[in-house]
Amino acid sequence: MSLDAADFLLAMNYFKSFWSYKFKKMALRYEVGLNIKTGDICWWNGPFPPGDMNDDMCFRDCLAMWLPTGECVETDMGYRASFPERVQCPPFEAPDRREMTARVRNRHETVNRRMKRWNILKAAYRHNLYDHQAVLGAVACMTQLTFENGEPLFEVEYND
């Protein structure tokens, strides 16, 4: 699985826990996981307050505990503090795998961008915060359907 966290804007007054350094505004953070072989969205978790939880902390909070021994995820540099037996990111990857893993991470950024095309996540969210998780789940499902019905992701050749 490839794993990345994405922040989604909120329309609310300043509150330190929700401050996203990426946007310099309020946001919520979600972890999204893709099946490397197929590109399907197979995991999402959140919301997390970006001011309190970085990417690595989100991973340690949940998915790291569920991975079987020997199972790793492909990530970006935001996860470099995690233990190397669970994460393969640029500091830990073998030189002969760099191009392949970079392509996996690029595809993941494409998925994050496609999820943000849905206006409810593109614009600052102004509705009940307790509904945001359901909204993200619906957008993840609809984004997955677009992969299957007309806008497929680019292929990635991945050797274990």
State the DSSP string of 71-108. --EE--GGGTTS-TTTEE-TTTS-GGGHHHHHHHHHHH
Contact between residue 50 and residue 23 where contact means Cβ atoms under 8 Å apart: no
Averaged pLDDT, 114-129: 93
Q: How many domains does the chain have?
A: 1
For residue 59, name the pLDDT band (cuts at 50, 70, 90): very high
User: 């490397």: which residue's tokens?
Assistant: 36
Residue 46 domain flag: yes
| Per-residue confidence (pLDDT) for residue 160, from 0 to 100 | 64
Residue 126 domain flag: yes
**Residue 81 is part of which domain span?**
2-148
Q: pLDDT, tens digit, for every residue of 3-53? A: 999 999 999 999 999 999 989 999 999 999 999 989 999 999 999 999 999
The tokens describing 157, both together, are: 């050749």
